[in-house]
Amino acid sequence: MSHRPDAELVASALDMAYELRGKPKGVMFHSDQGSQYGSCKFRQRLWRYKMTQSMSRRGNCWDNSPMERVFRSLKSEWIPSTGYHSINELKRDVGYYLMNYYNWERPHQFNNGLPPAKAEELAKKASGFYRPLH
């Protein structure tokens, strides 16, 4: 989280995700066409991690609809109408929502009522490629 949605922010977020997910291979990174995702710094980081970049088509919100859905849920279910008192409170609360509640607790209709991380674990167990995420 940052006051500026720049290349440094998205490169740092990618680094964190790459490490937390165990340095995965064969990953496709999808984003909108924000300048931070087209920056030299970010594209070099994708290259270093051998990730394929995918960008939404200009003006087509359906290309990025899964992520738009996450943000809609965050805003409508979680963010208090009065806002936050500090950036630290915001970071802690949004971090908890995304990394704990949304991924591990919140039921998702698409996954037959399972949270995303639990559905992913089941799919990996079924495929024989299992490494606990949590």
- pTM comes to 0.73
Cβ of 69: how many Cβ atoms within 10 Å?
12
Residue 65 pLDDT greater than 90, yes or no = no
Contact assessment for residue 43 and residue 73, using Cβ atoms and an 8 Å cutoff? no
Split at pLDDT 50, 70, 90, the class of 64 is: confident
Task: Name, in order, each residue with C-beta under 8 angstroms of 63's C-beta and a sequence gap of 6 or more.
Answer: 30, 32, 56, 57
Residue 20 pLDDT greater than 80, yes or no = yes
